[in-house]
Amino acid sequence: MHEIFDKVTEFIWGVWRYRWTALITAWACALLGWIMVAQIDARYPATARLFVDTNRILEPLLDGIAVQPNVKQRVALMSKTLLSRPNLELLIDKHSLDQTPKGPVNRESLIETLSEEITIEDTNNSQSIYSLSYSHQDPETAKAVVQSIIDIFITSSLDEERTDNRTTQQFLDKQISDYESRLTAAEQRLAEFKRKHAGSLPGEAGGYYKRMENLVGLQRTAQLELQEAVNRRNTLRRNLAQEERKIVSSSANKTPYDARIAELQAQLDELLVRFTDRHPQVSILKQSIDDLRQKKLSGVGGSSSNSTALLQKSVVYQKLSTLLAEAEAKVSQLRARDSNYQTRLSTLRGTVDSIPEVEAELKQLDRDYETVRSQHETLLNKREAARLTGNIEKDSNDVKIRPLDPPFVPSRPTDPDRLLLNVLTLIGSVGAGVMVAFFLAVLHPVFYNQRALEHLTQIPVLGSVSLSRKPTERFAAVMKHLNFSLLTVLLPIVCVAVLYVQIKNDNLYESLKFVSANEPEVLAINELE
């Protein structure tokens, strides 16, 4: 703690040692800073407010039908267009901004300065009210520049709406024409491919493997139905033979052919269980049985005639004969179906290498066609929306810009803030003086107390001798302190006086501006009088 106190004490004594140097430095810096502040030209800000009417009544009616503009984005784009180089050069030439009382200024730097000084921003994020501001040394010039900005802003908004919509429709027309050509080419490629591979294209059943699976399933179903029909037919044959034998045996006349027919019928039944009707042995047995039945009927006159009559009169025999005929027809039908499925499967298996390639190429063509068609329909919808949007902008002018407040310039300049600049100059000059005194004290160190001397020499100090001054010397020292105090107090007083003079000069300049602006009116009144 003592070390910190000693350091602070040394700093204060060091500055006090070179207090006159610090005071002179402060005065020099202050006077220089006040002169520089006085050289800064007063600037008068001109402000205006614009009302952006977005015609929001039509928004719910046109939702989903036409493109709704982003008003904030559009205004931001127009503000950037407003601050473009051609418009800034137009403002410079129209109001002679490059000619100042101090002489012409660099045009490039002036354009950059204008782009920073002209501000366009919305008020409280309302998206309807925007404020424009610009400051200049001449209030009338600032006001005229803001008015010119308003005119350019309103004109550019109308031109930009028409240009954007026209450019959009031209772009969409070009894209639609391109996609129409691509769509026609895709349709022609697809039609040509279908004509070339008419028998190999997948139908409603799906692709190659799906059709193969369906055909295999259909063939298995047909074979099962055929087996069931054959079993039913064989059953009917056995029933019919049993009924025939029953009728024949019931008659009194017996022939030697009956035993032979029964034996062959038994053999036929055994063969039908293992083979189909097309088997050679089955065909031979059928033919033998038919021959024996004919011989039986024709060889025995009375007996055969009697048996035939009994068979014709039997209702069960006639019913079984009808069912057997139907079963034979069903078997033939199912065999034809099975043969058809087998042929189709053989044909499909023969094209196993080419069909998948054809299907893959067809899918690719369909995918390309659907992509082009979908994009073409999207562009058509967007073009219709763009046309409707253009009609809306043409008829209703969805963004209308109107001046809400005309350009206004305050009677007193707001820039620069001379009070703040002068106070900062005073504080900075005092700080500069203190720092100069401190650096001099560091460059030329002395001992201010016994403790510092002991610490440096490591030798005990027995005592100290005070300086004894004469009365005249003490009076001179008092006068020096008094002069120093007066000069120190005079520094902030001069700061206030300089500030007062600067503000007075600004007001006098404004009064002269007002008088010069009203001189034509005064002359006109004098002439009338």
Q: What is the DSSP string of 359-399?
A: HHHHHHHHHHHHHHHHHHHHHHHHHHHHHHHHHHHHHH-S-
Is 360 part of any domain?
Answer: no
Amino acid letter for position 227: Q
Q: What is the pLDDT of residue 199?
A: 56
Is 453 part of any domain?
Answer: yes
Q: Could you read off the pLDDT of 198-226 as tens digits, one per residue?
A: 655 665 445 566 777 887 888 888 889 88
Q: Are residues 245 and 268 in the same domain?
A: yes
Residue 312 reports pLDDT greater than 60 = no
Per-residue pLDDT averaged across 380-407, rounded?
69
Q: For the domain that residue 141 is a member of, what is the CATH number?
A: 3.30.70.1130
Find the helix or strand (DSSP H, E) in which 402 lies: strand 400-408
User: What does the block give as tokens for 214?
Assistant: 């369906």
Q: Are residues 30 and 54 in the same domain?
A: no
Q: Could you read off the pLDDT of 134-163 as tens digits, one per residue?
A: 888 788 888 888 888 888 877 766 555 555
Residue 386 reports pLDDT greater than 60 = yes
Is 328 part of any domain?
Answer: yes
Residue 99 reports pLDDT greater than 80 = no
- State the greatest distance between any 2 C-alpha atoms of the chain, in Å, as a whole number: 192
Q: Could you read off the pLDDT of 7-60 as tens digits, one per residue?
A: 777 777 777 788 888 888 889 998 898 888 877 777 888 888 888 765 554 455
Q: Are residues 71 and 35 in the same domain?
A: no
φ, ψ for residue 130 (rounded to 5)? -125, 145
Q: For residues 96 and 527, which has the higher predicted lDDT (pLDDT)?
A: 96
Is 191 part of any domain?
Answer: no
Let me know how long the chain is: 529
User: What does the block give as tokens for 361?
Assistant: 């190429």
Q: Are residues 215 and 344 in the same domain?
A: yes
State how far the Cα of 450 lies from the Cα of 203, in Å rounded to an integer. 115
Most confident residue range from 55-64, 149-158, 300-309, 328-337: 328-337
What total of structural domains would you count in the chain?
Answer: 3
Q: Are residues 31 and 59 in the same domain?
A: no
Per-residue pLDDT averaged across 241-252, rounded?
65
Q: Are residues 86 and 54 in the same domain?
A: yes
Q: Are residues 230 and 163 in the same domain?
A: no
Is 244 part of any domain?
Answer: yes
State how far the Cα of 455 lies from the Cα of 444, in Å rounded to an integer. 18
Is 186 part of any domain?
Answer: no
The answer for residues whose C-beta is within 8 angstroms of residue 289's C-beta and 6 or more apart is 261, 264, 265, 268
Is the distance from CB of 362 to CB of 193 less than 8 angstroms? Answer: yes
φ, ψ for residue 127 (rounded to 5)? 60, 10
Per-residue pLDDT averaged across 317-325, rounded?
79
Q: Are residues 76 and 122 in the same domain?
A: yes
Q: Are residues 99 and 147 in the same domain?
A: yes
For the ranges 162-171, 355-364, 506-515, which has the lowest average pLDDT? 506-515
Q: For residues 80 and 378, which has the higher predicted lDDT (pLDDT)?
A: 378
Per-residue pLDDT averaged across 310-334, rounded?
76
Residue 456 reports pLDDT greater than 50 = yes
Q: Are residues 430 and 323 in the same domain?
A: no
The answer for residues whose C-beta is within 8 angstroms of residue 237's C-beta and 6 or more apart is 269, 272, 324
Picking from 60, 46, 62, the residue whose alpha carbon sits closest to that of residue 386 is: 62
Q: Are residues 65 and 13 in the same domain?
A: no
Q: For the domain that residue 245 is a member of, what is the CATH number?
A: 1.20.1440
Q: With cut-offs at 50, 70 and 90, classify the pLDDT of residue 520.
A: very low
Q: With cut-offs at 50, 70 and 90, classify the pLDDT of residue 287.
A: confident
Q: With cut-offs at 50, 70 and 90, classify the pLDDT of residue 111.
A: confident
Distances (CA, A) of 363 to 28, 202, 366: 90, 10, 5
Picking from 256, 240, 238, the residue whose alpha carbon sits closest to that of residue 292 is: 256
For 269, the 3-state DSSP assignment is: helix
State how far the Cα of 394 lies from the Cα of 383, in Å rounded to an integer. 16
The overall average pLDDT reported for the chain is: 73
Q: What is the pLDDT of residue 515?
A: 39
Find the helix or strand (DSSP H, E) in which 132 lies: strand 129-136
Is 247 part of any domain?
Answer: yes
Is 376 part of any domain?
Answer: no
**Residues of the domain holding 75:** 44-177+395-408
Q: What is the pLDDT of residue 134?
A: 85
Cα atoms in the 13 Å half-sphere on the side-chain side of 74: 24
Q: Are residues 66 and 167 in the same domain?
A: yes
